[in-house]
Each structure stands twice: as C-alpha cells, then as structure tokens.
Amino acid sequence: MREFARMGYRSVIITSDSNRLAEVPSLDSPYLLQEADGIQLCWVRTAKYTVAKSLRRIISWLDFEWRLWRLPKSRLPKPDVVIVSSLSLLTILNGFLLRRRYRCRLIMEIRDIWPLTITEEGGFSTRSPLVLALGFIEKLGYRYADAVVGTMPNLGEHVAGVLGKPRTTHCIPMGVDETALAASEPLPADYVEKYIPRDKFIVAHAGTIGITNALDTLLDCAELMREDSRVHFLVVGEGDLREHYQRKYAHLDNLTFAPRVPKQMVQSVLSLCDLLYFSVHVSTVWKYGQSLNKVIDYMLAGKPVVASYTGYPSMINEAGCGSYVPAGDVDALAAEVQRYADMTDLQRKTIGGRGREWILTHRRYQTLAQNYLPILFDQNDLKVSG
C-alpha cells in the first residue's frame, strides 16, 4: 500500500487494534484515523484475545465485522477497489456490501488458506460448525469476488477444488521490506560471544519455536550428528515449545538455543551462520506453495537454505540457492547438512548469493505493486482459465 501511495494512488488501510503484527495505538474511541507514509490508516477498536486457538479470537473477528459495517464511511474516500486480505475470511462479507454500495471492484487476497489450515494443522474436524461456516464463506469469496489473489503460487489448484471448476487466480507473494533491510543493526558483542560459537559450521533456525514450526526434525538431526565436531546447530527465537526442547535436548553439546533478537538484528545473526533452515509438517496446505517471510530473510542473508518441506516448490528452487528434503526425514536432512559442510566457503557463498540476487530482483515491493495494478483494475478477471 505504501508503494501504491508512491505511485499516486490514494491508499487506505482499515485494520483492527487486535493486529499482533503492528505497533498498535491506544484507542479511546471505536475508530482512529491516522496518516503514515502517504497512507490513511483507520484503526478499529475490537475485542482482544491472547490465545490464537480460542473462542475470544472468533469473538474478536465478529466484533471487527460489526464495527467495520458501522464505520462512518463518510470519513473515508470513495473506493475504486476494495481488497479483502485474509485472515479473517469473514471480511469478504463486508467486502460484498462495500462493492454494492460503491460499485467498485472487490479483490479477495489469501495469505492463509482457511479453513484448510485449521483442519490440517489445528486439529479441527472437517464437520466442525466453524469449519463448515468458514468453508461456505470461502466458497462465496472465490466464486463472486472480481479477482482472487494469493501469496502462494499454486492457489489456483485449491480454488478449483473448492469451486469444482477452474478459476483464474493471481500470485502476489510476500516481499522485501527495504526499510527494514536498511535499518539492520549489529548484535551486541556479548550475544555473539555467548551464543554463536567460532570455528564451527553453523546450521541455524531463526524464528518462532512452536508446534507449527516442526523443529523436531532439526533437533533430531542434531542428535544424529552429535559426533560430528564440525557442525553446530543454532536455534534463535522464543515460543511455546522452547523450554520443552531445551530440556529434551539439554545433553547435546552441538546445539545452542539463543534468545530472539529485534527484527533489525535478524540479518546480523544470519550473517554469522553457514546454512539456514526452515521446516514444515507434512500437510496438504503446502501443496499450494509458500511465501514465508522467514525464507525471504534467509535469502536476503546470502546464505544457502535447506528446507524440510514436502509441497509445491518455490523461491529456493527458482533462485537455485538451496535445496529441499522430505518433511520429517531426519536422515535426509543430516545427509544434506553434511553435503553443505563439505563445500568450500566460496561454493556456499555462490549458492547463497544467488538467493539474495533473486529476491532483490523479483520481490521488491515496488515490483510487486506494479504486478498488482493490472489485477486491481482489469475488468476481465472473472473469465475461467483454460
């Protein structure tokens, strides 16, 4: 939206103050209007929640939809295009009302495939009333929105499965936040001294340590390779499973858990590592691809990336900056770690450099915004793909 504003488009973001990915102001009234980077921000005060998998989260969604419907719309400009960006899927219903009121275009943007994610990874039954309701709303959105956009490259296969017929979809993936890149800060000297060993080949995961991050494969790999004195495993971050993992693998000398660092220091951590790692559980969700911020950070660091990933390949294979092994396969991961450890520094630098070059070429937000414009204003998006 910042890039749209720079191109001369009047951009408005309406978001909840329960947004956990933003610095949220304190709201003394139901709505707060702000200006930032040429964007008009409208904050909506909603019910708060602390646990993602909870009834209060659903209540927060419903509260947002009610307040969005009641929003004094005269305070905002008349839209030519409304983008409903999931999650929550419920907002597509307000999107239909806004389209009817303003006779504007409606774009449905999918960043998480719900309800598939909660049935595959959240333990919800496909017959749950919540899942059935979300599935109905999802189908309405796919069928009647003027365009469907996803951050994942193979969303079209999922949409076709839901609708029972093909429908044109578009991929606008996650991108490079160059302002954050420019603000990179060095690590404190005591952090490096305490947590990052010298003269070792360091395999690192940086990010949340939770059930969806599937770190058991990496940690079991550390157990399997404990006799290889060259290789050290580093896990940087916090999360629900950190203490459990620390107790379970406390006997390993080749494994270090380090505290999370501010976003602006992440690149400094990654620069001190040799091989960067991410993993997923075996899940139908990944059949449609991924566009994870973690992978973007890894590629920006100019380091090789290895992924325990079974799904639709993208980014890493396109750039030629790393490799995939089957999700959950500890032996395959260990063999791949050894392969990279046996390479020269120059070989690894060449591989990692391809990732950085690719991500800066293809995933700058300026480029993504240019790619988005024809989708926003094209009147032919409802045609069925062949």
CATH number of the 179-361 domain: 3.40.50.2000
Of 127, 114, 92, 128, which is closest to residue 158 (Cα–Cα)?
114
Same CATH fold assignment for domains 2-177+365-377 and 179-361: yes
The CA distance from 151 to 168, in Å, is: 14
Domain ranges of the chain: 2-177+365-377, 179-361
What are the φ and ψ backbone dihedral angles of 14, each rounded to 5 degrees? -110, 120
pLDDT of residue 381: 46
First to last CA, the chain: 31
Is residue 204 within 8 Å of residue 273, measured between CB atoms? yes
Consecutive 10-residue runs of the chain (386 residues): their mean pLDDT? 93 88 83 92 89 79 93 92 92 96 96 90 88 96 97 96 97 84 84 94 95 94 96 95 96 96 92 96 93 92 97 95 97 98 97 96 94 84 39
Q: What pTM was estimated for this model as a whole?
A: 0.87
For residue 216, count CB atoms less than 10 angstroms from its CB and return exposed for 0-12, middle for 13-18, buried for 19 or more.
Answer: middle
pLDDT of residue 354: 98
- The dihedral built from the CA positions of residue 25, 30, 34 and 40, taken in this order, carries a sign that is positive
Instruction: Decide yes or no: CATH 3.40.50.10140 for domain 2-177+365-377.
Output: no
Of 111, 98, 152, 105, which is closest to residue 373 (Cα–Cα)?
105
Of 8, 67, 1, 75, which is closest to residue 39 (Cα–Cα)?
1
pLDDT of residue 210: 87
Structure confidence by residue, pLDDT tens digits, 199-222: 999 999 999 998 889 999 999 999
The CA distance from 335 to 146, in Å, is: 47
pLDDT of residue 24: 83
